[in-house]
Amino acid sequence: MNKLILIAVLATSAGSSFSAPLWSNGPYLTGSGDGYAGANTSTWTVFDTSSGPVASNIGCNNSYYRVIEDFEIASGQQWKLDQFVSYAFRSTSSSAVPPPSTFNSAYVAIYTSDPIAGSAPVFGDFVTNRYQSSGWTGAYRVSSSNLTDYFRPIMEVRADLSFVPTLGSGKYWIEYGLKTTSATSAVYAVGVSPVLNGNAYQRQVSNNQLFAWAPVETAFELHGSAVPEPSSIFAVAGGFSVLITRRARQMRSRKLIR
C-alpha cells in the first residue's frame, strides 16, 4: 500500500476529463527476459515468522481470504473510477506459452473509513462478481534461486468499478478477492517487488480474522478519469467570461477608432 500516484492532468476546458491509470500501488517485475522461454520475472521475498517462512504472496481466494489495501486521492482532485486491475497467480504444472488464464471472478469493495477498525464497505460487496477480463502479463512469479520456474504465471485480472460514484480527495481502502475456474484452488495476489514499507492486510473469511502483512503490499492499479472539482469548473468558466468581455471591448474600441 505504499503509494505511487500517477496524477491525471486536467484539460483546460470546463468539464473535460480523460481516462488514465490514476493509481499504481507499486511494481512487481524484477527481471526482463530472464525467465522461462524468455519471459519476464517477478521475484518474491521470503520472511521468517513464528509460523515459519512466508513468501510475499497473499492468498486471496474470495471463498477463504481477501486482501485489504489503501489508496489516497490528493487534495483538489476527484476521481471517477471505472476499473480495478490486480495481479495474481494460481499454481499450474502447464508449460504452455502463453499460459491460459483461469481467473473468472473478482469481488471488490471500497471503504471510506478504516476496515481494520471494523468499518463496513460503502461501495461494492463480496457477492457480486465484477470480473471483466484476464490474461497473462508475460511474467512468472519465481524464487531468486529458480528464475526459469513456470509454475506461477502472473495474470492481470480486471474488475468493473463503474458502479462507484465520483470520489473526492482523501484516504480510502479497497478489499478484494479473486477466483478461478477451480473454485477451491489457492489464489495469490502478487506482492510488490522489491518489498518496501507496505501495510497490506489479509482477511480470513470464515471468522473475519485479520492478518497484518507489513511490510508487504500487493500490486494493483485503479483506472478511471480525473474529474474537475466544481470550484475548478467555475474558475475556468470565469476565465472564459473575462476573455470574452475583453474581446468585446477591444472590438468596440476598434470601431470607435475607425
DSSP letters spanning 214-237: TT--B-EEEEEEEE--HHHHHHHH
Which cell is 208 given?
Answer: 473475519
Residue-level pLDDT at 53 = 82
Residue-level pLDDT at 230 = 62
What are the sequence ranges of the domains in the chain?
4-8+18-227, 229-258
Residue-level pLDDT at 229 = 67
* Cell 475456474, located at residue: 181
> How many CB atoms are located within 10 Å of the residue 7 CB?
11
70 vs 156: CA distance, rounded Å: 19
Which of these, 26, 127, 29, lies nearest to 85 by C-alpha position?
26
22 vs 85: CA distance, rounded Å: 11
Is the bond leading into 98 cis (omega within 30 degrees of zero)? yes
Tens of each residue's pLDDT in the chain, 258 residues: 544 444 343 333 333 333 579 999 999 999 999 999 999 999 999 988 766 788 999 999 999 999 999 999 999 999 999 999 999 999 999 999 999 999 999 999 999 999 999 999 999 999 999 999 999 999 999 999 999 999 999 999 999 999 999 999 999 999 999 999 999 999 999 999 999 899 999 999 999 999 999 999 999 999 999 998 665 544 444 554 544 555 555 555 444 445
Residue-level pLDDT at 48 = 81
pTM of the model: 0.83
Residue-level pLDDT at 15 = 36
124 vs 130: CA distance, rounded Å: 9
* Backbone phi, psi, residue 248, to 5°: -65, -40
Which cell is 161 given?
Answer: 468499478
Helices vs. strands in the chain: H and E counts, helices first: 1, 17
